[in-house]
Amino acid sequence: MFSVKKTSGKARRGQLEVGHGVMETPFFMPIATRGAVKTLSSRDMKDLGAQILLSNTYHLQMRPGRELMRELGGLHDFMKWDGPILTDSGGYQVFSLAKLNQTDEDGVSFQSHIDGRRIRLTPEGSMAMQAAIGADIIMQFDDVAAGSSSFERYEEAMERSLDWANRCKNSYDESQKLFGIVQGGTYEELRERSAKGLMAIGFDGYAIGGLSVGEDRDLTYRTAASTADLLPEESPRYFMGGGMPEEIIYYVSVGIDMFDCVLPSRNARHGTLFTWPEDPAAAVKRAFEAAQKGAKPEEIAKHLYRKVLITNASFQTDMQPIDEFQDMEDLTFYTRAYLHHLFRTNEILGMRLATMQNIRFYLRMMTELRAILSA
């Protein structure tokens, strides 16, 4: 299923094989929460170079629901995407929608954010919904503690997640690849207990969860690096939900293989673009070398990208391409002045072009990282 082909320090270049194809690692998963990356089609995602998409169990359980999803033939057929899909278990929504739910040892009772109806989600229910979706990689149902939690709350969430991981392992569809999620907040002793407990159960891959949820940024980096060291070398490692470009470069340098984040598409819809300062191969090489030398992420960022707030009035007459170093025709054909105009007039094409820019930036960054690690 997973094999490491080359290494550079702790960074790994590998392959991950699942039901819908073989993916080259490290990779980034654009977020198709409800079965679509906002403003883009499945064909767009192929053109942009996506290897795999991430969708969310909670939101798909709300609509269209388990039975209808099964009747529709699963998410691949429904959204016309023939590549791999990973599904989040819904555990993060337990955390992010905390005011609408009640957690106990058996699972979570939700109040739907759509119509207020009560919905019960358990580890077994999460596995059943992910089976109906037909995802290639599925995540255990977990309990996520906020970044400002006490040691006791982190320990509670970690122990509960281990219990739920065991229940997920006993109830999942074995045609899918099941990943366990390491919890424990920013406490190394809890992370070690969690990792050892998950490895004793045995999973197809291991995710680092419960970070980038409000804790101090330096603690996030330190915890991610130390947790990666705990995980088996022969298994894929997935950092869940962390995602500024410089963060991903850093996480790759400490041995993590898989990433997802809403930032590229969310920032795009608000007019913030990630653009290349020079040829992407050179920019990523400089950034990765800085990461391997121990540079802080803010230093890595200086090599990697320039942020453009396209709604700024300074772009009103800027006839430069959206990004002169991009390799997608629309992004070198249309100007920043035109994109500025589209945002000012609320034309949906503006959000679409901005989303293409940011998603392609992230995917190209991963392509260049793989090339560096293959050399």
Q: Known catalytic residues?
A: 88, 260
CA distance 240 to 238: 6
CA distance 72 to 132: 9
15 and 5 in contact (C-beta within 8 Å)? yes
Per DSSP, what are the bridge partners of residue 56?
88
At residue 216, what is the residue type? D
Tokens of 2: 């997973």
Q: Determine phi and psi for 279, rounding to 5 degrees.
A: -50, 130
CA distance 264 to 261: 7
CA distance 318 to 337: 5
CA distance 352 to 312: 18
Q: Determine phi and psi for 367, rounding to 5 degrees.
A: -60, -45
CA distance 352 to 265: 9
367 and 49 in contact (C-beta within 8 Å)? yes
Per DSSP, what are the bridge partners of residue 21?
18
